């Protein structure tokens, strides 16, 4: 189980690094926000998938007589929640910036 947490953490870090190429706040605050939300989203998604489906696998088409899992379900949800969390962060930040204080009219 501890290996799962490391995998979810790594997924969050990777999603955060990918999220940094989107137009977003530059500087320390932007980097910290990206890492916190990406890692937090991945850990939350992986933990929720683990709690909801303890077998941890997506069942794909099996070869007759050989039941083979298609892949780990918790890693998929960790990646998806990290990306969704980053999208929500970036949209919220963009709305805040676009609706921010306007320059006074001259």
Q: Structural domain boundaries of the chain?
A: 2-98
Please enumerate in sequence order all residues whose Cβ is within 8 A of that of 38, keeping only pairs 6 or more positions apart, or say none: 12, 13, 15, 16, 19, 82, 85, 86
| The predicted structure's pLDDT at residue 84 | 93
Instruction: Tell me how far apart the terminal alpha carbons of the chain are, to the nearest angstrom.
Output: 62
Higher-scoring residue by pLDDT: 46, 1:
46
Predicted structure pTM score: 0.72
| The predicted structure's pLDDT at residue 44 | 92
């Amino acid at each position: 189980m501890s290996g799962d947490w490391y995998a979810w953490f790594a997924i969050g870090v990777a999603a955060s690094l990918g999220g940094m190429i989107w137009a977003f706040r530059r500087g320390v605050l932007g980097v910290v926000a990206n890492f916190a939300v990406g890692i937090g989203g991945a850990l939350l998604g992986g933990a929720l998938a683990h709690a909801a489906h303890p077998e941890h696998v997506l069942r794909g088409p099996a070869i007759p007589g050989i039941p083979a899992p298609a892949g780990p379900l918790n890693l998929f949800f960790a990646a998806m929640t990290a990306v969704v969390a980053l999208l929500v962060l970036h949209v919220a930040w963009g709305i805040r910036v676009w609706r921010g204080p306007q320059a006074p009219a001259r």
